[in-house]
Amino acid sequence: MPEVKPTVLILCTGNSCRSHIAEGILRAAAGDLIEVQSAGSNPAGFVHPLAVRVMKEIGLDISGHRSKSLTEFLHSRVETVITVCGNAEQACPMFPGQVNHHHWGFDDPAKAEGTDEEKLAVFRRVRDEMRKVFEAYAAGRKDQAATRAQRRD
């Protein structure tokens, strides 16, 4: 029987920018080690075009993502919840089987003001900050999996 991959759910309020950026980065960095999803406590109903654009710049395509409500996951086995904004942290329910909860807050690039280039600069900065955190998290998960595999051998 194949082992079920643990689900990591990334939550934000609108599920239009930060959670999708994090989902794309973590999915790419963790490979098939975990199932990565994202959702929002009050979903915007769309994925921000600038989030799609800045992810494409680093070779990740999130254009197929959709904005989802966290209620879609209330009856799912979610091992780890990661909130990336303060509002989602406060609205975060417990999920069946949840073992871990991390809160890593990032600025909301959707609230950036100024010219298109200035907004794009904010999206890029937040993406790069998230990339460091989520790639490090994926590396830690890979190390844990390797250690468990060595113990079984």
Query: Can you say how many angstroms the Cα of residue 42 is from the centroid of all Cα atoms in its chain?
Result: 16
* Residue from 8, 10, 12, 55 carrying the catalytic annotation: 12
Q: 12 catalytic, yes or no?
A: yes
Q: 85 catalytic, yes or no?
A: yes
Q: Are 51 and 21 in contact (CB under 8 A)?
A: yes
* Residue from 30, 85, 126, 130 carrying the catalytic annotation: 85
- Rounded CA Rg of the chain: 16
Interatomic CA distance for residues 77 and 137, integer angstroms:
20
Q: 17 catalytic, yes or no?
A: no
* Residue from 92, 110, 126, 130 carrying the catalytic annotation: 92
* Residue 142 burial class via C-beta count within 10 angstroms: exposed 0-12, middle 13-18, buried 19 and up: middle
Active site residues: 12, 85, 92
